[in-house]
Amino acid sequence: AFGEENLYPATASWTTRTGLLAPMYDWPIALKGMDLAPGVVEKWELAADGLSWIYNVRKGIKFHDGSSLTARDLKFTFDSALAPKSVATYLKGMVDRVEVAGDFIVRVFTKGPQPYLPNMTTLYDPSEGAVVPKDYFERSGASGFAERPVGSGPFAFARRVPGDSIQFEANLGYWGQVPAFKKLTINLMPEEGTRVAALKTGELDAIEVGFDAARALETAGYTTPALDFVIPTIHLFGAYDSRGASLPLADVRVRQALSLAINRDEIRKTFFYGKADPAFVSPLPEGTADLDTAFWRDYSDKLYRYDTAEAKRLLTAAGYPNGFTLKLYTFAMTGAPYLPKLGEITAGYWEKVGVKAQVTPVDYGVFRTMYMKSPPDPALVGSALVWRLTDNPIAPKPMTSTYAPVAGKLQLLSNAMPDLAALIDGAMTEPNTAKRRDMLAKAVKTGAETFVGLPISTAPMMSALGPNVKIPFPKPAISLSYYLGIATHGK
């Protein structure tokens, strides 16, 4: 979220929503483990015709300005998500219109069957639909709301220092568990060493850390909870972009060679200290719904093997016997502060097969403006990026966010594979389980064998807590920020 402190959920990035905004907003649907659970919406059901969802809003919820949360606010939230400037691309693709059917009842009409709609309106990736007060927003205007946002979550916005921190105060009238701490400050500290030092001095009580720091802090007596799993991945831009047709990454043999050159087992054993699992088929987590896990586990082990001899053979066959040079962009992301270091390690492996990666640190906010365009910024064409995917178990979601030629997505396949796009879109809306599984199997294989996404592993997000705080993280724990409302005093 560094460099992109947008406090309006409909236009904020996923990183910002989960890293900065989670304490002050509520989402329509909550999670209990990976199962859907009541949130602002206490009951939801699919209409008999399969073309709309009926959401029953929980009564008694108050926004931070004291106003009651009703169906009008939930409809306004959906309408805001459908607005042109919104980045809620999944809701835009799923929802046709929304109607108020009672003071606490909303009916969401969908674009054809949309069995996954409730999954898209939890905090879990893509975390769309954080509930916003209609009257306050319309009274304040977009700019006024951005200055003093209002939600209904466990903490209320107090003030912010751009580029430095955001301060919150406990919502003592919260409908859920009232926070034990009266004040909360989220500090923007991109450097891990700075965060660790602040934890040790007591300036901070909870931080995200990489594996080296977590190991050292645990040895020093600190609690280091593992949160959710993420998928550190190398993405290759411009492989199917006409602007990069003459560049090395346009050749699938080159992309496969870059994958074969990475020693993933060594990374898991050394960099992740044995706590990470093997890479699963891109861009999905192991255990994805509607996939044969055993089949795809075996497939992934073969596809993502380490074989420098074959990598060199493929590079030579593609016309690059002496390798080539490309940029490798790096920055830290929520749940994966170690990505810059992982980029350096990857560059080292590539150098062994003759490929020189120019590691290029960049601020996430700057990079986001580059890939949010459609088509992406030309500076990305022919380059690589160290990224992290979440372990969202709904297969069409990560496939869409990785491949789809839509502004706001990574667009790694440009418009080159309409048949694959049709399979993914079809699987998202197909109510028949057998048909959906068949569509997904074909789509997953086709996408993985483009080698535009090179998963490294499945690694837990690590955190560290000071002595003054305890947090009973559930599994999965989506982000550190989301659970600050249930933190208790450690002493």
Q: Which residue has the higher pLDDT, 147 or 221?
A: 221
Whether residue 130 is found in the same domain as residue 236 = no
Among the listed residues 233, 237, 239, the one whose alpha carbon sits nearest the alpha carbon of residue 280: 233
The CATH number of residue 48's host domain is 3.90.76.10
Q: Take residue 77 and report the two structure tokens written for it.
A: 């939230």
Asked, for residue 293, whether it belongs to a domain, the answer is yes
Asked, for residue 212, whether it belongs to a domain, the answer is no
Cα(127)–Cα(14) distance, integer angstroms? 7
Asked, for residue 201, whether it belongs to a domain, the answer is no
Average pLDDT over residues 279-306: 94
Residue 94 predicted with pLDDT over 90: yes
Among the listed residues 101, 100, 119, the one whose alpha carbon sits nearest the alpha carbon of residue 29: 119
Cα(187)–Cα(160) distance, integer angstroms? 10
Instruction: Tell me if 117 sits within 8 A of 108, measured CB to CB.
Output: yes
Q: Which of 126, 147, 168 is the last residue of a domain?
A: 147
Q: Which helix (H) or strand (E) holds 365?
A: helix 364-371
Residue 445 predicted with pLDDT over 60: yes
Whether residue 412 is found in the same domain as residue 291 = yes
Average pLDDT over residues 474-485: 83
pLDDT in tens, 222-264: 999 988 889 999 999 999 999 999 999 999 999 999 999 999 9
Q: Which residue has the higher pLDDT, 477 or 311?
A: 311
Asked, for residue 81, whether it belongs to a domain, the answer is yes
Q: Which helix (H) or strand (E) holds 143?
A: helix 134-147
The CA radius of gyration of the chain, in Å to the nearest whole number, is 22
Among the listed residues 392, 387, 320, the one whose alpha carbon sits nearest the alpha carbon of residue 356: 320
Whether residue 274 is found in the same domain as residue 398 = yes
The CATH number of residue 343's host domain is 3.10.105.10
Whether residue 135 is found in the same domain as residue 267 = no
pLDDT bucket at 1, cuts 50 / 70 / 90 = very low
Average pLDDT over residues 196-208: 96
Whether residue 131 is found in the same domain as residue 244 = no
Q: Which of 120, 147, 174 is the last residue of a domain?
A: 147
Asked, for residue 271, whether it belongs to a domain, the answer is yes
Give me the pLDDT at residue 152, please.
98
Whether residue 241 is found in the same domain as residue 129 = no
pLDDT bucket at 188, cuts 50 / 70 / 90 = confident
The pairing of strands 356-361 and 277-278 is unpaired
pLDDT in tens, 384-435: 999 999 877 788 888 988 998 876 688 899 889 999 999 998 998 888 889 9
Cα(230)–Cα(392) distance, integer angstroms? 9
Average pLDDT over residues 141-165: 93
DSSP 223: B
Average pLDDT over residues 280-302: 93
DSSP 394: -
Whether residue 304 is found in the same domain as residue 406 = yes
Whether residue 337 has a cis bond before it, omega within 30° of 0? no
pLDDT bucket at 2, cuts 50 / 70 / 90 = very low
Whether residue 295 is found in the same domain as residue 426 = yes
Cα(271)–Cα(63) distance, integer angstroms? 44
Angle between helices 252-260 and 308-317 (to 10 degrees): 160
Instruction: Tell me if 327 sits within 8 A of 383, measured CB to CB.
Output: yes
The residues, ordered by sequence, that sit 6+ positions from 270 with a Cβ below 8 Å of its Cβ are none
Asked, for residue 266, whether it belongs to a domain, the answer is yes
Asked, for residue 165, whether it belongs to a domain, the answer is no
Q: Which of 124, 147, 170 is the last residue of a domain?
A: 147
| Residue tagged 């939230």 (tokens) | 77
Please tell me the least confidently modeled range out of 3-12, 113-122, 128-137: 3-12
Give the residue numbers spanning the domain of 312.
228-459
User: Average pLDDT, whole number, for the chain?
Assistant: 93
The three-state secondary structure class of 427 is helix
Residue 4 predicted with pLDDT over 80: no
pLDDT in tens, 297-355: 999 999 999 999 999 999 999 999 999 999 999 998 878 889 999 999 999 999 999 99
Asked, for residue 214, whether it belongs to a domain, the answer is no
Q: Which residue has the higher pLDDT, 143 or 138?
A: 138
Average pLDDT over residues 456-469: 95
Q: How many domains does the chain have?
A: 2
Give me the pLDDT at residue 16, please.
85
